[in-house]
A and B are shown apart, each in its own frame.
Chain A
Amino acid sequence: MNFHLRLWRQKSADTPGRFEGIEATNITPDCSFLEMLDIVNNRLITDGKEPIAFESDCREGICGTCSLVINGVPQGPGRGAACQVYMRKFKDGETIFVEPFRAGSFPILKDLVVNRSAYERIMRAGGFISEHTGGAPDASAILIPKPVADKAMDAAACIGCGACAAACPNSSAMLFVGAKVTHLNLLPQGQPEAKKRARAMVRAMDEEGFGNCSNYYACEAVCPASVSASVIAKLNRDYIKGEVSEAVGAID
């Protein structure tokens, strides 16, 4: 198969970028999108040209490192991360636009690579439990009802990829923050710090300059982990509980 790629090329964070047309020829339909880029890169290197910078790690949809926007869709067509997109999804001879995640809080480093440390800093503000653990506790020591465990697990599926903020017209990180807060706040181990967590993570999110949620649900449409926007409702609830508790002096 042959494709006309329109790729975003940008030398560094502070140089302006532009689209460059690159031909991807003789690609087998079973190639993944990233393998197609590998093939194109090998040819570019052979020709003595600069290869396209893009990120990937596991290439099996679980690590959240890959971060392409394919034809305007973060993580590309279909459910799953960009590394799970196969060339058979496209028509032979199709023009494909490949862009980096675009959100002010994810500055472009080079070509298709963006800096997603903002999500890490939000995690550091509250995406953990402060309890010191000893040895592995008995599995039956803390009983968790199945529906609660299921909901927490669905939220814990978030791989921190950043597609939610990339897809959001407001560059809002609410799906990510909602997923983390829901995961930890639903479980007994996370509950003692539930209100502080929601408050701290939302404040960190605001400080990172992410936009506000307008309930567009574009995030939900692209999330490779199928995290439901109901985690945003829980975040809205827990955050206000946290702020009110602080205002009345119930937490410090």
Chain B
Amino acid sequence: MSSTANKESTGTSSLSSKPSGKSSACCTCSSPLLSSSIGRKWIVAITGILLILFVSGHLLGNLTIYPGPNWINAYAEHLQSLGPFLWVIRLVLLAIVGLHITCTIQLWMENRAATPQKYAVTNTLQTTIYARSMRLTGLVVIAFIIFHLAQFTWQGFNPVTRTWIDAQGRHDVYRMVIAGFSNPFVSAFYLLAVGLLAMHLSHGISSLFQTLGLTTAKLRPLFERAGRIIALVIFLGYASIPLSVLLGILRYPHVSLCPFVH
């Protein structure tokens, strides 16, 4: 086997462009930039960053439940007042999630095809449980997102929540959320999903730096620690809401937690 670069004296440049790309290249992206293994990993990483930004922004919005219905209902009304622009945001998000999932599923299928037989003795070597469970955690997260939209956006499970109005005549999102999380099964699924999302991000955040070529041997442990911490913070932020409802810290009608905010 070659240990150093073979000196090949070729008359013509052997490094010229050849038609290539994966045979299983998806129909929409014929450029090897998008259909190659690394190209698709870049799409996963970039859509991953956008999703992390969304998840963080969404968390900040959700946390307005703590100061009370005035805040979260006003926040929700603001979002609704965006009108058609809200639909643009929704479609862009849908496209981002779609790209992320399409590319990861393609990568997954290729990886399976590349590895026809496993070893008799399994050895996890240096891999982490977070990295090995990316597909499982991702799929549960998407299942949860569908349920979550059906529950709080479309309000299909309990349509009466659509008619709940607060004192200022706004849709009472505060009451709807408290009612939803008062069901321990809803809260349990929510906790499971945000837990698995946190696992997904525990690997995903540090992984994306490697995919985008920003990691060095020195930086990698730092990115890994930062990824775990950010994932934990996101988990605690999201998980606190159903837990607060179940523990009676957040309740309807609202009882102020802080003497200065009403």
Contacts and interface: CB of A to CB of B under 8 A. Distances in A.
30 contacts: A102-B116, A123-B6, A130-B9, A130-B14, A132-B9, A159-B1, A160-B1, A167-B125, A169-B111, A200-B14, A200-B18, A202-B38, A205-B37, A206-B21, A207-B23, A210-B37, A211-B115, A212-B40, A212-B107, A213-B211, A214-B207, A216-B131, A218-B126, A218-B127, A229-B217, A233-B215, A235-B38, A236-B38, A236-B211, A240-B42
A212 B31 contact: no
A63 B32 CA distance: 34
Q: Which of B3, B18, B134 has the most CB of A within 10 A?
A: B3
Interface stretch (A24-32, A44-52, A241-249): A241-249
Contacts of B28: none
B4 interface: yes
Taking residues whose C-beta sits less than 8 angstroms from the other chain, chain B's interface range is 35 or more
Contact of A217 (B111, B119, B127): B127
A34 interface: no
Interface in A146-195: 156, 158-162, 167, 169-172, 180, 183-184, 190, 193
Contacts of B32: 199, 203, 243
A160 B4 CA distance: 9
Majority SS at the chain B contact face? loop
A55 to B, nearest CB: 10
B7 A212 contact: no
A64 B2 CA distance: 8
B168 interface: no
Contacts of B132: 169, 216
Contact of A65 (B1, B113, B203): B1
A111 to B, nearest CB: 15
A220 interface: yes
B5 A184 contact: yes
B1 A129 contact: no
A196 B127 CA distance: 31
Interface stretch (A66-74, A83-91, A136-144): A66-74
The 6 closest A-B pairs by CB, nearest first: A237-B213, A72-B121, A211-B114, A72-B123, A170-B111, A221-B126
B118 A102 contact: yes
A123 B15 CA distance: 11
B216 A130 contact: no
Contact of A126 (B14, B31, B210): B14
